[in-house]
Structure 1
Amino acid sequence: MCIMSVSKSFFNLSLFDFTVLLLLCQHACFLSATGIAKKSVTCEGGSASLSCRSGFIHILGANYGRTNGKTCSAGRPPGQLSNVHCSSKTSLQMMATQCNGRKSCSVHAVNSVFNDPCVGTYKYLQVSYECRLVKQHVTCESFRGDITCEKGVISVHHANYGRQDLATCPHKLATTTHCYSSQTARMRSRCNGKKSCHVLASNSVFSDPCVGVYKYLEVAYSCKKA
């Protein structure tokens, strides 16, 4: 059962604010079997830095906007804090794309990344995530990846074909860290339920999300009982 600590401020929440917290709680309740939820709040203009000492990041909930008048309010005029019904629909997908399956990630809390859900309002990025103890397999472009489970069968959590850092699969054409192409659905259809899965990390298989950049296929997965 999900148990939340209740303070006096809890009873002063607006209906919209309460709904957002309820959704985050529903996500957090799932953690009873997988880990402890971590939270991150970043004011507009800053960078959210998420990390896992053990395991890999899995985003549970995210919102770029404003759901109360107190968070990130220091030095801001009332007119920039009055709209507390501000939510970006792309927040969860954006954070999942950039962070899921990674040991760490950094995302700018700016309109150019999430679009502007409420013009004139000073916003913040609120994220809830967990560290999942899953395996990670990286295959450099033009090579074949062999994903296997000695016990159980493959269950893909997240997959990306592109480039999110310069250290993985180093190459003279490793020129960006912002190349994202989610391949989770494709890798699940190829690998889930199998003891082993073989795939070529190439543009012909996954298409080319960033022409001229040397890429790699990154897959986060676990081995489940058949």
Structure 2
Amino acid sequence: MTNSQPQLRIDIVSDVVCPWCIIGFKQLEQALADSGLEADIHWQPFQLNPQMGPQGQELREHVIEKYGVSVEESVSTRERIVDIAKPLGFDINFTDDSRIYNTFNAHKLLHWAEQKGVQHQLKLALFSAYFTDGVNVSDTEKLLDVVESVGLDKDEAMQILQSEPVSDEVNKIAQFWTSQGISGVPAMIFNQKHLVTGAQGTENYTSILKQITSLEQAEQE
């Protein structure tokens, strides 16, 4: 990063069970590296399935039910997701037993982790836990293990999970983003004013970063 290229703030509205969110981030990460830019990343809460029960739902069944696709289309989409993620250095391991889960408690822990300065590490650890290792990210003990893996205190994390004020705050933040018209993820907001939605691909992100930095520099002149 040079003095003429200040650090970008990037808010990423996402869910930890959204494959396109981790794919989009990894593409963005590569684009940032290619562009020689640094970013201050803030992960913002979004629940794909806020009504999902604690046991979750079989993933293939869920996708067919929610999106109206066929079994063949579901399988094809999974294979495409795996193939896109692998060259980005991220392993997604779908199986016949893969399930989708409620992620509200994960978002509570991410909100707390931001205050501790390790939100980004926890978000990536949760992505890996769910997509690579098949962890139930709604299970309290499993969540506490992930928290501990990034150096956070499990007892304090349990207090956060039991905190109604934290629940209220996370709900408030999530509602703010939906009130801004965000209904799908990933949604990336650059310097709190430039919105980009979906996983755009590394080349497109590189182009977007160039445009945004040029605009920012023009505004400062």
Name the TM tier (shorter chain): under 0.3
Higher helix share: 2
> Which is greater in Rg?
1
Higher relative contact order (CA 8 A, sep 6+): 2
TM-score, normalising length: structure 2: 0.28
TM-score, normalising length: structure 1: 0.28
